[in-house]
Structure 1
Amino acid sequence: MTRQELFTNIKKKRSFLCVGLDTDITKIPSHLHKEQDPIFEFNKQIIDATADVTVAYKPNIAFYEALGPKGWESLQKTLDYIPNDIFTIADAKRGDIGNTSALYARAFFEAMSFDSITVAPYMGRDSVKPFLQFDGKWVILLGLTSNEGFADFQNEPMADGKKLFEKVITTSQQWGSADNMMYVVGATRGEMFKEVRALAPEHFLLVPGIGAQGGDLEATCKYGMNSQCGLLVNSARGIIYAGNGVDFAEKAKLAATDLQQQMDEMLEKYL
């Protein structure tokens, strides 16, 4: 999917919502456990309920890997079920020496046909570039994450006074472009979006932390939106676990629609 196609879908749906399919077998409604593939059945109903207000789905691969071969089967069935016009993100946070990264890229881009994959940049250029060799595919580099421990390394000043996350964002732009590279920037970082936008004004940002983690959508849009929106705001638990009964999909739809309506207001205000 191209950047223009992604932006076109954002304008069409008046939404930049990414739904995180972080599907935990221990948290899905109990009545689904009688299904042959409970994980896929849960995902299927979530997709059916939210696809009209969603521009991206992001399965976190850990939830599927933890289930062994059956989990990988559920993941592939989920990927196959997602409508073709919706952007797909393998939240796998891969990154290794070049030849291994090339195999990870083949796994998620060729064998599974994801549109994008999250990548850890801290092994440097040769660990990232293999993912950038696939036409129409995207690398989403960890930039400034939403977790509590981000300050341990990412926010530390270097010898030249720049923070490590700034070095990652500026250096990595030599490897790819705004047409095949995004950055993960957590919504819990607030006004730090200004710093990120100064470094990467044209790139899309994948923004976790809205919802259960307490991120501020208004601040994210005020400081992070660009002329093509430039944001994919992810919500996982706040949507997929909005309900835990037989009506879980209806509750998910309500939660997703509420967030989409807020996004519509932000697009009107800041775009």
Structure 2
Amino acid sequence: MEIQKLVAQIKRKKSFLCVGLDTDLEKIPPHLLQEEDPIFSFNKAIIDATHEFCVAYKPNIAFYEAYGLDGWKSLEKTMAYLNDKYPEQFTIADAKRGDIGNTSTRYAKAFFETLNFDAITVAPYMGKDSVEPFTAFENKHTIVLALTSNEGAYDFQTKIVEGTELYKTVLRTTTTYTNADRLMYVVGATKASYLKEIREIVPNSFLLVPGVGAQGGSLEEVCQYGMTQEIGLLVNSSRGIIYASDSTDFASAAGAKAKALQQAMEAQLKMYL
């Protein structure tokens, strides 16, 4: 997907919400376990209930790999449904892949071509030759892990190396890679105060921001420090939306949560744009 189409959708829907499809058979409503494909049945209902309030979906690949071939089939069906019925939605494979050369190329082909995702999350620890195979794909986007929302982020990402924090080195270095205009970055909402300095390094790149909702991140702070004239944000909520209810009303409950976030985002758009 061209980035302009994503921006146009954000402005039309007045939303920069990304819904994380972290579908766990141990958490979905029990009545769905009787379905032929419980994961896809759950995803389909969530998508149908939330699509008008969001601009992106982000399946976390671990929740599908965990179920082997059945999980991959559910993922394939979910992507086929999204691309067929809601082609305007930006789709992100939250796979956090990171390897070199041919291996990264094969990962890219798997998610960009076979499954037809628009974007994939990538770990940059192995450097340029682990990222550039992904950015070689036209109209596809590579989302580099920069400053994540988990507690262990402080183990490495904020350490001072040669006078600067490691995450800043990641940002500065990756902007020199081939097709760097196809890069986005993961910045956790629980690190919102860092966004001002991050924007000094990547002023125009889209940021994928997890951590609003269940992890306690502030939407207002994310917008204050991270929003650009082209919005430049995709704020993800997973558990807070998809597990809003564990009963037969799970889809409508998810829709209500997504709508509430969309309305909060609309208010922020009015304030900052």
Alignment match of 1:124 (pick from 123, 127, 144): 127
1:28-63 deviation line (CA, Å, top 9, x unaligned): 000001100000000000000000011000000000
Matched residue, 1:5: 5
**What stretches of structure 1 move > 2 A for 4+ residues in a row?**
176-179
Gaps (5+ residues) in structure 2?
none
Distance 1:176 1:197 in 2: 20
- Taking the aligned partners of 2:90 and 2:19, their CA distance within structure 1 comes to 11
The answer to whether the Cα contact below 8 Å between 2:185 and 2:207 also exists between their aligned partners in 1 is yes
Q: Which residue type is aligned with residue 161 of structure 2? A: M
Alignment check: 8 A CA contact 2:174 2:180 kept: no
Q: 1:112 to 1:168 in 2, by over 3 A?
A: same
Give the TM-score of the pair, scaled to structure 2. Answer: 0.98
CA distance in 2, matches of 1:219, 1:247: 32
Query: 2:145 is matched with which residue: 142, 145, 150?
Result: 142
- For residue 36 of structure 1, what is the aligned residue in structure 2? 36
Given that residues 135 and 179 in structure 2 are in contact (C-alpha distance below 8 angstroms), is that contact kept between their aligned partners in structure 1? no
The equivalent of 2:186 in structure 1 is 184
**How far apart are residue 190 of structure 1 and its match?**
1.9
Instruction: Measure how far apart 1:17 and its partner are.
Output: 0.1
Amino acid at match of 1:130: P
Aligned residue for 2:164, secondary structure, equals coil
1:97 Cα deviation (Å)? Answer: 1.5
Matched, 1:86 2:72: no
Identity of aligned residues (%): 60
Deviation of 1:179 (Å): 3.8
Partner-residue secondary structure (3-state), 1:73: helix
TM norm structure 1: 0.98
1:178 to partner: Cα distance: 6.3
**Cα distance in 1 for residues equivalent to 2:259 and 2:75:** 25
| Structure 1, gaps ≥5 residues long | none
- Where does 1:58-97 land on structure 2 (aligned, <5 Å)? 58-82=58-82, 83-97=86-100
Task: Give SS of 1:148's match.
Answer: coil
Q: Distance in 2 between matches of 1:128 and 1:107?
A: 15
What secondary structure does 1:267 align onto?
helix
The aligned counterpart of 2:248 is: 246
Q: 1:218 to 1:177 in 2, by over 3 A?
A: farther
Give the distance between the partners of 1:225 and 1:183, measured in 2 at CA: 14
Question: Using the alignment, how far apart are the partners of 1:177 and 1:164 within structure 2?
Answer: 22
RMSD, aligned CA: 0.8
Q: How many residues align?
A: 270
